[in-house]
Chain A
Amino acid sequence: MDHHLPYVAAAIGMGMAVIGGGYGIGRLAASALDGIARQPQAAGPIGTNMIIGAALIEGATLIAEILCFMIVILR
């Protein structure tokens, strides 16, 4: 078990990172869709800002995933 603990840790870490990122981006997309539903003519700026927010959240998620990947690589 001790030999495989790093792999377990990395796998659980990556899964949790995706949970957080997915939830955050899901809420972001929901708000953006609400905004577009209220004001269809603002769809352009709302969409652009949504993409920017999604990229920033995704940045944090992927940083966590890369660091989990490091656990396996630096074995």
Chain B
Amino acid sequence: MIETPGASGHDVPQGAAHAAAAAAEHGAGGAGHSDDIGATIMHHITDGHTLDLGFTEVHLPQIHLWGLDLSITKHVVMMWVAAALLILLFALALRGMRGMRGHGKAPRGMANLLEMLVVFVRDEVCLKNLGEHHGRKLAPYVLTLFFFILTCNLLGLVPLGSTATGNINVTAGLAILSFLMIQLEGIREHGFFKHWKNLVPHGLPVFVLPVMIVVEVLGMFVKPFALCMRLFANMTAGHVAILAFLGMIFIFQSAWASFAAVPLAIGIMLLEIFVAFLQAYIFTMLTSLFIGFSLHPSH
């Protein structure tokens, strides 16, 4: 574990409003739990069986079924919160579209706000990469992917929230889903055997073929793996940076450090908002790009 010099055996001085607000804002009280800043950072980043609501801790049920650990953990709850939030937002958006049926009027209310994002993702990402026909068929999946990843990313930045996509299992699940979509759409379009033949570009000299097969098969697995790692690393690194800056207050054992630490942490949090949107867009765009490659092998 990471040991910080001089951190043991001291009492944390009563901080300025800055430090207390920052610590409470990050749902921590972390230095109240332990003097080990490394352990506190790890506690915030990783999944756990307790939901830390600031003043209470809710212990979540541990469920072990058929040799699998299917417990309800903190990140599972966060994913449920994201799903509920999305259902709520889009139900409200549906209300704003009520007077619209083919009258050419603008949507009102929540629909107006969400229309920006939905139309952007649908036109720039979905239709451009998948073409008209498949784009309209796959638009629900692509849009769901984008908004789910975006909401999970943003939930990590609010108090009491935690980033579900900062858990490699969650991003691995999303990447596996993308991998399945890539293969299944290709198989559905071209038939089982032709899909695998489409992996390798046509019109190559024969001696290059073994190398190309190896490269393409490896690429088939590496691309979703990179999707998984990219999202996980971006989310986790941002949160570790925020926690490390706020942890400076506790490492220096001084409330005055908060005058430097809190603006830095706020700066990184603003960057994290941008990164949340960007990474959701990148994941969605690369997924639809790869599905487009398998649907239209135009090598």
Q: Measuring CB to CB, which residues of chain A are less than 8 angstroms from any residue of chain B?
A: 51-52, 55-56, 58-59, 62-63, 65-66, 69, 72-73, 75
Contacts and interface: CB of A to CB of B under 8 A. Distances in A.
B5 to A, nearest CB: 13
A65 B237 contact: yes
Nearest to A64: B233
Interface in B243-299: 278-279, 282, 285
Contacts of A69: 240
Contacts of A63: 226, 229-230, 233
A50 B52 CA distance: 39
Nearest to A75: B1
B146 interface: no
Contact of B234 (A51, A58, A73, A75): A58
21 contacts: A52-B285, A55-B230, A55-B282, A56-B230, A56-B282, A59-B229, A59-B233, A59-B234, A59-B282, A62-B230, A62-B237, A63-B229, A63-B230, A63-B233, A65-B233, A65-B237, A66-B232, A66-B233, A66-B236, A72-B2, A73-B42
User: What is the interface residue range for chain B against chain A?
Assistant: 10 to 19
A66 B232 CA distance: 9
A73 B236 CA distance: 14
B278 A51 contact: yes
Contacts of B232: 66
Interface string B37-52: 0000010000000000
Contact of A59 (B230, B236, B285): B230
A40 to B, nearest CB: 21
